[in-house]
Structure 1
């Protein structure tokens, strides 16, 4: 009984007219969750079962889409429960865990996109050395780094926040995103401020700069090469760049939203917050399913009607 009394609960204040539209919200979000899970899982399944897709680029894509499935599963079930509940609350420890999973996977995406950029750089700029550079061991190392480095950094942040005193118990969001920092009494303390900047540099800015540098080298190389190489570069690099631009824009919003004052319109805040949970998880399978030729080919075979006898 004492343990129950000591549990700290956080109230989500980001919902708009939930009592009026709770069943509409539930139906729309449930449908989208099924769509996100199925679309990403189908492409992961195709990459796993087809040997011609067992290449570094497609392995990184599968890892990226697996991140999306876990990310969505971390957010959507709780959202759906909240829509049908009288009170939209979560324990502070569960909120920190949700924060940890969301941002570990989010930062992991930058690392995976960086690995894809390097893979494309070697394939286009150093094609003869590609088999010796991008070996299975190299791919495994990239995957371990992409998942372990962000997780360890975000874990330190989460532990630091768990030990901090709370001055507010109302979160201006519908799930535990970056606005969790506004609950802290020591929002501007040395630890949170300095370590937050270090994480932003290590997990976001440095991978982004590496990606931009790598693609600049690729496009310069392609520009000086024949038409076939330029076509190959466009087909394999543009999907990754479109995902990078989409994710970077949403990431910038997620960082900026913690600095926005309370007079920011609640409906606009809800719409923008939902982009993180809706747009990007659907955008990834759409881009890779339609723009990557080999994946698109297998998707057509999977959903094409059987031949008439």
Structure 2
């Protein structure tokens, strides 16, 4: 929804970024959740002798047969709520930092500064929205495998606060922040680099082009940041685990390969998610920007 150089690089009003980013985040999370569920399941510590399939479709099918359709959306509400807040913050902070980083004379933004703007947006999103909601989602998915203590997302939050205090909501903060900083840097940065390249060559920004750019950005993001995602998932399981304990546990279980566990599942989700996220954000921005411009005093 933003560009970094050349034509079409205009100031994006913060309210437009918040609304378009929030709506896009909620839509993306809801549409792609079964992939997120499968990826989280395979990243969690397995019981002795338990070997889950690596194919996400097999995991989805297995859970559906054994536990029903509702099980596939365990923790979805928390993720959707968090994604609305996360992407609203991520888009508005990225656009704000991007505008601050522009060359004051030419109005352009280098590729390096575009990536840095994405990193700053990721850190802010992690601290304000992502870590707590990811903690709830992961704990719900982990708990549903065996203990089944949590009756709902609200009950999960109450239990975590009772047993571990407020810090319990921020378990995995280091891993989540590393993941968010790097992921947002790669996703937002690479998307804007692709978009800028196309605009310099007069390639029309259609829905198909937006979706393709988002899918490519999602692929780059997944391959570059998977270890952080695996560490984050382990440290946010139902059982209290520190980031260092998660790293040691992954290494003991699977060695270096363990840090890329769930890559195929996450790749399946992020390719679709990247396309949905940026396509939705661009579409919403196109709708609300004229409204904003016509009624600045109200908005």
TM range (shorter): 0.3 to 0.5
Which TM-score applies when normalising by structure 1?
Answer: 0.33
Q: Which is greater in Rg?
A: 1
